[in-house]
Structure 1
């Protein structure tokens, strides 16, 4: 009588309460009724929002076990399996990490986990939570898609999300470091001249091009006025240099004039380079053959050139500079009448 009552109570609870789980766990898939796609999407969005707001926490997904029936207490029906402890879950997760389950794609959909929810089974296999639920609804029983183990427990974990965030952070850091290195290299190429000849030539060409571009960029609208300013500044600089050159030349002494005159005699100069007529002061023979009214005084320059005095004075009056240069060698000179 006691055994019959116990069997009747166990069968009644199994039939009337679909959520009741005894030794047979085949009804686990019918606990949650299939939802519409929109409802599942809204529930998934809310779950993701709660996951972002709250700290990631691992928890067991299976519901709490029901109290044992009289038949199970008497040993007439097999009792459900004992729930795994936290230490056992730690060992299972360690084995899953060693097997790199979270680093591999999901075995059901063959896609990366990324930030999607994942579950760890008591057999140390990892799947997408939605993929595992779809597989259990399709198969009609609770069985691992990999090892075909039944009567397993599931636990929500976030190892794949941590790995994905770590890879993203590593990629961002690598991109940033590459950007900094390229920026530093371009800056060093602009300021340091390379040793190779071709690269050095390109370096100076780029520098010259930058100067030309800046010159054109900062030019005034009136180009003619700008060029006139440049000519004016160049002429003033040239006059300054000429004055410095004239100041640096000292007047020759008497012995220096003798050496200069001997150089002229050795060269055999007979004609004035300006008027192309004979010079009479150096050559006595030519002086005797020339009449008194044709004799003209001669000027000896410190650059060892001879001119008629009137020709040189006319040249100096014609020249625009305050101190003209030699008509032949274009050098600053001192003069002496001979």
Structure 2
């Protein structure tokens, strides 16, 4: 009888301990899920003076800029084990991922190009908004994931339905967006410089096409405003300009040459000048520089 009483008392005590352990586990974990407090860096500024709130916001903004390039795990430290978990009645939570495991998760996310695609919740680009990487290698907006957790009441991945998961703040999409913006700015600058260089080359280098070469020479003559040969002081009748054509209708057309110094002469006048010049290499009659000539 005494043995039976001892057995019954032991069984009842174990049953009491088991029920108390289950009740403690339910009260601590299942009835009070609070996912909004998963961010240890979140601060509330309600009920503060406006000036104090502005100062706090400025400090938070500065701290946020400093932490943009730093990656850190967003989830807080796991709570201590409950009695039911210690007794083996409930499965213990998984251990947190190590840095090597997070490195492999991030490599898998980079291979899948998760940061280059829009957020799967709001379907918008990440740009400069904070993003989080889940332990299942999926990437979301930080605000979108927090809203999803708040309305669903549980930590389940919106894509693969993995439960639970760990979150890590990353900035891969920010770097991709900055690189894309820098590339676009550089492309615009290179295009502007190329167009500017082309306009300069177009004004200084003579084209090979005959029609374009004539237009190039005529534009140079228009810029100089010289319509007469500086040697014989008669009209340069070989140019197809209205003013020159009107002045040279009564004159016989005479071939014209252009010097490399951009001065125009009648071919016969320049040959006569070269014949009477005493120098072995004659210079331009106007600017006194060595030249190459080309008939137009």
TM-score, with structure 1 as normaliser: 0.54
Alignment of 1:195-206 (within 5 A): 195-206=208-219
RMSD across aligned C-alpha pairs, in angstroms? Answer: 3.3
Look up the match of 2:159: 146
Question: SS of the counterpart of 1:27?
Answer: coil
Q: Deviations over 1:222-271 (max 9, x none)?
A: xxxxxxxxxxxxxxxxxxxxxxxxxx9xxxxxxxxxxxxxxxxxxxxxxx
Partner Cα separation in structure 2 for residue 14 and residue 178 of structure 1 = 66
In structure 2, the CA distance between the partners of 1:114 and 1:87, relative to structure 1 (3 Å rule), is same
Alignment of 1:185-204 (within 5 A): 185-204=198-217
Query: Per-residue deviation at 1:13?
Result: 6.3
Look up the match of 2:282: none
CA contact (8 A) 2:134 2:167 kept: yes
Structure 2: 5+ residue runs without aligned partners?
A: 1-12, 48-53, 227-275, 277-296
Partner Cα separation in structure 2 for residue 118 and residue 9 of structure 1 = 38
Q: Deviations over 1:55-79 (max 9, x none)?
A: 6110111110111122211101221
Alignment of 1:184-333 (within 5 A): 184-212=197-225
Q: Deviations over 1:180-239 (max 9, x none)?
A: 2221111111111101122112212322332249xxxxxxxxxxxxxxxxxxxxxxxxxx
Look up the match of 2:35: 29
Partner Cα separation in structure 2 for residue 192 and residue 25 of structure 1 = 83
Partner Cα separation in structure 1 for residue 204 and residue 70 of structure 2 = 54
CA contact (8 A) 1:3 1:71 kept: no
Look up the match of 1:56: 69
Counterpart among 86, 90, 110 of residue 73 in structure 1: 86
Structure number with larger C-alpha Rg: 1
Task: Kindly indicate whether residue 129 of structure 2 is the aligned counterpart of residue 123 of structure 1.
Answer: no
The count of corresponding residues between Structure 1 and Structure 2 is 207
Query: Per-residue deviation at 1:26?
Result: 8.0
Structure 1: 5+ residue runs without aligned partners?
A: 214-247, 249-338
CA contact (8 A) 1:193 1:200 kept: yes
Counterpart among 11, 36, 40 of residue 23 in structure 2: 11
CA contact (8 A) 2:25 2:83 kept: no
Look up the match of 1:92: 105
Partner Cα separation in structure 2 for residue 6 and residue 195 of structure 1 = 98
Counterpart among 174, 185, 195 of residue 182 in structure 1: 195
Q: Deviations over 1:271-329 (max 9, x none)?
A: xxxxxxxxxxxxxxxxxxxxxxxxxxxxxxxxxxxxxxxxxxxxxxxxxxxxxxxxxxx
CA contact (8 A) 1:143 1:150 kept: yes
CA contact (8 A) 1:7 1:71 kept: no
Query: Per-residue deviation at 1:52?
Result: 2.2
CA contact (8 A) 1:123 1:149 kept: yes
CA contact (8 A) 2:119 2:125 kept: yes
TM-score, with structure 2 as normaliser: 0.61
Question: SS of the counterpart of 2:33?
Answer: helix
